[in-house]
Amino acid sequence: MVRRSQSSNPRSTVVLTSGSDWGTRAAGQSRSSGADLPLPRKQPAKLKALRQTIGVIRTALNAKRWHQARFGLSRAQALVNALPADLTTDERAQLTALRKKFAARNTRAAADARKAKAAALSKRSGGKRSAPKPSAKKSATRKSPEKVSPAPVRELGDRLVNRAALGYGPEAQSRNQ
């Protein structure tokens, strides 16, 4: 038995239940759909809302936001049902294609298409390519870098350098050399 009180009032009666009615109580807390929202009253506003909803569904599907897409599809269906069929022929065709895309979101064909798209992008030449990152095993076994020898001094030829001005010695010695 489970103690159930729907009220915050301490004087209210407490009902003991075995939990068999939980399915019916949870039905009141079901997922909201886009059809629950109020629809615009006038026909041009409904058409505009339908076109906006189709755009939202398309971006949601491309970004793999499945919950938003489901919500948009139900809202679009409610809007299509509220409009005359002759005005929404293009929108109905778009919705059919979007519904198919939504239905195929977790299928093997969708996964294969994603893999093919990734392979095509990797084969494409040009663009910025990232260098392969070393794995953790390689970095752990790698030795410390060897000390780099300094670059050899370049031969400057027969130039007169005022060594005394640089603080190395008298000026007479630099000209005799």
Q: What angle do CA 130, 132, 137 make, to 5 degrees?
A: 150
pLDDT at 154: 75
Q: What is the pTM of this model?
A: 0.48
Residue identified by tokens 């001005």 is 165
Residue 75's pLDDT is 94
pLDDT tens sequence for the chain (177 residues): 555 666 677 666 655 555 555 555 555 556 677 777 888 999 999 999 999 999 999 999 999 999 999 999 999 999 999 999 999 999 999 999 999 999 988 888 777 877 888 888 777 655 565 666 666 555 556 666 677 787 777 776 777 777 777 887 765 554 555
